[in-house]
Structure 1
């Protein structure tokens, strides 16, 4: 499997530190001469661990054409207020459906910030790790087509927004990245001393992705508790 793109081009990858964007980052190197990993910090409760994972993964895969991780700021704590994502109360557990972790407007904010960065530096493509199983209204093909059009009008041209994994499941992404240091990636809503908590919605999704793919899960979890997923597996 190859991420789309032509030789001799540069692209940016919106990197969260999680499985999907990490595997995408590696895949994108096959079709481009230069890849810029971008992490956007918003002030959410898991970001310290997530950013550390993103840095570790970029350092581990290294190699020609992979630029250093760029960290951009997009504060959202004042927007979300007292919310589980900002540290107020518990987070959606392993038994909750994917819709429980929806953060309104987050993809608009992240994509717009990254697109402006690309436009000002002549980077013609911005790749996102959105999967086919993503149930959110701001993750559909139509949404990204419209957003690309709006950004192009706003800036007199914009990077092309691509989603190379938009037909894949979590398990297929894990399989595609089976030779990568996936244990360095991070996808947890409530880290415990820098580890995956093992009991939140995202930890359950992660475990299920490894289970379905048949790839050994080397992730260090703070607890071995696991509950069945509800809703969109993958």
Structure 2
């Protein structure tokens, strides 16, 4: 019998790489989907390609969409600085409606290839305060997906949006990924990595990543820029 198919949202960071490994370990044929959405750097897209190949994705697609044309985020507007410390509330690195758009396109992809599962690496423990990384959002999107698609309305199955990292700490995620054979040296998490994929060491994403490796007691393979090496 053929394996069930799943669409995996792959950003190039350690969370999405871990989710791809989880989906593979659960017996899914994995179809990875990444986005060139106008982000500050393309190093994460190079990371996506490396991860998809290393973890055996059946297919990996990169879609170009114009979220950067709207701006409104330090990740898509070069006039806005990426903060070097954690901010109260929802930070300027939040990209308006990003996960809603990403999941919508993943839903279309899933319907075409006959997949009933979409995996996303959102996390409500060690996360940056984004509203589209919360359980209520994932639940609401799944409910919408099951009334908005031909596959769900006419089919005998329900679509599932799976967020297996939702309740895990960053250290727990890293430990799980290490057990599943994830090479975190292939990943890029930094909000302002250079063209070679080297991390700044000071943004919120770098902080969470570094703290996660320390707490997991696993060597951090992250390459850092010389001018901003971590302390």
TM over 0.5: yes
Provide structure 2 residue ranges, at least 5 long, that are not aligned to the other structure. Answer: 153-157
1:192 shift after superposition? 2.1
Give distance in 2, aligned partners of 1:149 and 1:27: 23
Q: 1:143 to 1:52 in 2, by over 3 A?
A: same
Please say if 1:76 is aligned against 2:67: yes
1:137 shift after superposition? 2.3
Give distance in 2, aligned partners of 1:59 and 1:12: 15
Give distance in 2, aligned partners of 1:138 and 1:92: 20
Q: Which residue of 2 aligns with 1:3?
A: none
CA deviation vs aligned residue, 1:177-226 (integer Å, no higher than 9, x gap): 22421011011111223211222221111111111111100111104544
TM-score, length basis structure 1: 0.84
1:138 shift after superposition? 2.0
Give distance in 2, aligned partners of 1:182 and 1:37: 17
Give distance in 2, aligned partners of 1:150 and 1:30: 27
Give distance in 1, aligned partners of 2:195 and 2:65: 25
TM-score, length basis structure 2: 0.85
Please say if 1:42 is aligned against 2:37: yes
Give distance in 2, aligned partners of 1:110 and 1:12: 11
Give distance in 2, aligned partners of 1:43 and 1:78: 7
The aligned runs of 1:114-125 (5 Å cut-off) are: 114-125=106-117
Provide structure 1 residue ranges, at least 5 long, that are not aligned to the other structure. Answer: 1-6, 228-234
Q: Which residue of 2 aligns with 1:4?
A: none
CA deviation vs aligned residue, 1:108-145 (integer Å, no higher than 9, x gap): 11111111111122111001111131333222222222
Kept after mapping to 2: 8 A contact 1:74/1:113? no
Q: Which residue of 2 aligns with 1:181?
A: 183
Q: Which residue of 1 aligns with 2:155?
A: none
CA RMSD of superposed structures (Å): 2.1
Q: Which residue of 2 aligns with 1:112?
A: 104
Q: How many aligned positions are there?
A: 216
